Structure 1
Amino acid sequence: MNAPADVSALDWAAVRADFPLLGREVNGKPLVYFDNANTGQKPRSVIETVDGFYRRHNANVSRAVHTLGSEATEAYEGARKRLARFANVRPDELVLCSGTTFAINLVAYSWALPRLKPGDAILLTRMEHHANIVPWQLVAERTGAKIKVAEILPDGTLDLDALYAAMTPEVKLLGVTHVSNVLGTVNPVREICREARRRGIVVLVDGSQALPHRKVDIAAIGCDFYAFTGHKMCGPTGTGALWARKEHLAAMPPFIGGGEMIKEVSFDGTVFNDPPHKFEAGTPNIAGHIGLGAAVDYLDALGMDRVEARETELLAHLQEELAAIGGLRVFGTAKEKAAVVSFLVEGAHAHDLATLLDLEGVAVRSGHHCAHPLMRYYGVAATCRASLAFYNTHEEIERFAAALKKVRGLLA
């Protein structure tokens, strides 16, 4: 087992200063941004990279021999290489796209739709985000396949015995989140993939909440597909990627047709480009992905082991403060947990709670968090969610706790 990362090796105040937005005020009070599971803030280096692209290098990629086109292409493909290195995969197995939702839909329509038939099944878990539910429902309706659901335990962990028992011969694909966006539960995806592989089941892992907060070695996980989103990992919105095994990418037909994804077009037919470009039709989010490359460089410089250790330390403090507040219901108490806490105050609606916290300068998420089936499991319509990142501070946690106590008094 690796030794814990040395959190004190970094000046976290200096790291925080890299994020311009964190210095602003909301409702006359210093901002406490605890909505990182929704989107992460951007360091100055990412903002300047995007700005610099538009100021000095703006051109389309792969379609021009002039200097600007060459510079744009080099920067864009360079971002793909950096992202691949960050996740320990090959660049030619990494499809750049708008994020996890697009990535999962790509697999649903390009891999699953041509293969599934009546009698087949898609296995999902109770804690999935809607983006890892709805595409499979749409595909099931069109193919005659059915959806099976693996349940969770009251503490928010997957019932692994039930999950493995549900891996019956008709199951062709398993969709599972690496880290729950509501509960923070970290699922043992390597073990899950090993069990699925033994049964011949293809696995897609939703890595949206994992890659921004911990070191992820996709190659070591043993999945078939891994989807993630750039804007949650300090990158621009509209960025992300799908990693897929090379044999899958070679066999899958394109999801969207158009420019760039072709080698030759005639009215008699089209010869498609090699993967991953076969799946990247049209002009991509060039500046955004170049910015994501800068975000990866930033996270690499911090060290993901230190990022995880820092957030684990902050989570322990947050849990301690919440435990001291009466009348609070916390959802998800898994031992393996990321820095995400969903909660409710007795007698208060989640939206009212979040609105009053905002008046105190505290930004938390309220709602169903795109996880209706999980809300129904706990018998609630919505929760508040405080989600931390490495640039948050212990002082912010104490201010959040003080604001929550004040708000609870107003709602009592």
Structure 2
Amino acid sequence: MIYFDNSATTKILPDVLSTYETVSQKIWGNPSSLHNFGENAWNLQEQARQQIAKLFGVKPSEIIFTSGGSEGDNWVIKGTAMAKHRFGKHIITTSVEHAAVKNALEQLKDFGFEVTYLPVDKEGRINPADVKAAIRPDTILVSIMAVNNEIGTIQPIKEVGEILKDYPNIHFMVDAVQAIGKGLDDQVFSDRVDFATFSGHKFHAPRGTGFVYVKSGRKLEPLIAGGGQERTLRNGTENTPGNVAMAKAIRLVKENEAESVKREQAIKERIYDHLSKFDHVKLISGRDQGFASHVLCFAIVGVRGETIVHAFEDKDIYISTTSACSSKKHSEAGTLAAMKVPEDIATSAVRISLGDQNTLEEADQFNKTFDELYAGFKKIIE
């Protein structure tokens, strides 16, 4: 099997799974309990928090555990709205955000908030000048993803941060779910970023784990009210085994990050260069440094995306159409629509998303299989 759908989810690493099982079986106390068994759980979780903070060069108090990216996105957006609604109800984002961001913002419209969706260019990238032009006296939040989950575009986070230095009262959130382990920490954790959201299952941790970076001094109301866990910011009994396992997954990913990114880029380029030889193939992702190393979106024009996915599946190669959160709807990818990609191309688009477990040999096998499938598809498209 060749698994090229890592942006949807990754396989939990054996060592990470072992950690999860060990903590679950041996340290099952509630971290909020006063007895020693609860204190042991609390201490272990705090060690995990400190480990994550050290790996990213931030304070342990700035790491708040969650259940994943969607919760993190919703919390920062709605928590900002709750904390700052007296000062304004205007939010700026892009037209290519993940559904967890877009749908959370659409919900806020029902409560009187206004949302400005910034346009993107032909590569799916915003113009930082558009951010500045969109800022109003009542703007309370700017939310921009670091890496697009459908085509891999890297957004100009640093440039936007420089603009927002002149507006210190505006919260700046980065959806960094697709950025971890991809050599982009200098962007995600730049000086002006206030919040960054992460999801454990994107980097070999258990599902249902995640965390949010919350810069010290930034006001954010809790999305979940409860017993005061996570400094009252994320209430609910902590997922100690999941959080500890997630910290281990991050450490393992970071150990070989530079090598993994280099290999992913080489795999991407080998497939990209091969696909570029075919008349009916439209390459949507770029291969330069403006795009992440692990995402490659392309279309066989005239063949629907789901047909391509299932054809590769029959060969034991797993790719996807767009985002896993929307691909089953058989709809045109939101990013491609925002880029004004023609409908016949958008409905044919598929995504390869690589991980640190993939190899160049798998790329060669993919290219060989593509040749076979393309020969069959020519009956449809010619």
TM-score category by the smaller chain?
A: 0.7 to 0.9
Residue identity in the other structure for 2:75 = L
Residue 230 (str. 1) matches residue 200 (str. 2): yes
The structure-2 alpha-carbon separation of the partners of 1:219 and 1:161, relative to structure 1 and needing over 3 Å to count, comes to closer
Separation in structure 1 between the aligned mates of residue 191 and residue 133 of structure 2, nearest angstrom: 21
Q: 1:59 aligns to what?
A: 29
Q: 2:12 aligns to what?
A: 42
Q: How does 1:12-411 map to 2 (within 5 A)?
A: 31-67=1-37, 69-116=38-85, 120-142=89-111, 144-200=112-168, 201-217=170-186, 218-248=188-218, 251-261=219-229, 276-302=230-256, 304-333=257-286, 335-338=289-292, 339-367=294-322, 369-370=324-325, 372-377=333-338, 378=341, 379=343, 380-381=346-347, 383-411=349-377
The answer to whether the 8 Å contact 1:186/1:337 transfers is: yes
The answer to whether the 8 Å contact 2:283/2:298 transfers is: yes
Q: How many residues end up aligned between the 2 structures?
A: 363
Separation in structure 1 between the aligned mates of residue 191 and residue 353 of structure 2, nearest angstrom: 25
The answer to whether the 8 Å contact 1:213/1:389 transfers is: no
The answer to whether the 8 Å contact 1:332/1:341 transfers is: yes
Q: CA deviation at 1:135?
A: 1.0
Q: Which moved more, 1:328-337 or 1:347-356?
A: 328-337
Q: CA deviation at 1:368?
A: 5.2
The answer to whether the 8 Å contact 2:197/2:212 transfers is: yes
Separation in structure 2 between the aligned mates of residue 246 and residue 352 of structure 1, nearest angstrom: 48
Q: CA deviation at 1:395?
A: 0.9
The answer to whether the 8 Å contact 1:368/1:381 transfers is: no
CA RMSD of aligned residues (A): 2.2
> Which blocks of at least 5 consecutive residues in structure 1 are unaligned?
1-30, 262-275
Separation in structure 2 between the aligned mates of residue 199 and residue 253 of structure 1, nearest angstrom: 21
DSSP-derived class of the 2:262 partner = helix
TM-score, normalised on structure 1? 0.82
Q: CA deviation at 1:64?
A: 4.1
Q: Which moved more, 1:279-288 or 1:343-352?
A: 279-288
Residue identity in the other structure for 2:361 = E
Percent identical among aligned pairs is 23
Separation in structure 2 between the aligned mates of residue 318 and residue 163 of structure 1, nearest angstrom: 35
Separation in structure 1 between the aligned mates of residue 254 and residue 129 of structure 2, nearest angstrom: 36
The answer to whether the 8 Å contact 1:213/1:308 transfers is: yes
Separation in structure 2 between the aligned mates of residue 112 and residue 105 of structure 1, nearest angstrom: 10
Q: CA deviation at 1:335?
A: 4.0
DSSP-derived class of the 1:252 partner = coil
Q: CA deviation at 1:106?
A: 1.3
DSSP-derived class of the 1:307 partner = helix
TM-score, normalised on structure 2? 0.88
Q: Which moved more, 1:312-321 or 1:93-102?
A: 312-321
The answer to whether the 8 Å contact 1:224/1:244 transfers is: yes
Separation in structure 2 between the aligned mates of residue 132 and residue 156 of structure 1, nearest angstrom: 17
